[in-house]
Amino acid sequence: MVYTPAEIRTLTPVRKNVEKRASKPDLRDVFLCHAWDDRKGIAKELHDLLEAKGVSVWFSEKDVLLGSNLMREIDKGLAKSRIGIVMVTPSFLKRIAGEGVADKELSALLSTDLLVPIVHDTTYEDLRDVSPLLGSRSGLDTAEDPIGNVASKLAELVAL
């Protein structure tokens, strides 16, 4: 796997935190933050690719049961995950501007060094226009790396 210098700078502190949290029991490898509109598209595709690589993923589509309190389940998912990944798409940019659930997940993730943004079908420039804090973090970009390679890098990042 080949990493850019920016990816190395971004992923190194996340990796150190993964290693620190390795001894905590019952943690998922990844919390997948995404826009509702992406749940059957790119978010599901990334989820499936990660799970095929042996990565345990907290994904609202499978982890929030019908009738349960969505925000409480998200809160538990965030607490029980080694890292958070944010699938940044045009739909996500619209959602965080509207201060919905994705915005609340993002706020929690921004307070940690456990966050990896993944830009898909948009740009970091567009992201910075909506969320300067998230846009200031480099991450992975599907315009530069196919989603399969992104999944491989994430799997390598959380491997213990």
- Catalytic positions are 105
- DSSP 3-state assignment of 84? strand
Full DSSP string of 95-141: HHHTT-HHHHHHHHHHTSS-EEEEE-SS-HHHHHHH-HHHHTS--EE
**Residue 117 exposure: Cα atoms within 13 Å on the Cβ side:** 24
Contact 105, 115 (CB under 8 A): no
Non-local (6+) Cβ contacts of 69 within 8 A are none
Question: If you ran DSSP here, which 8-state letter would residue 61 be given?
Answer: H
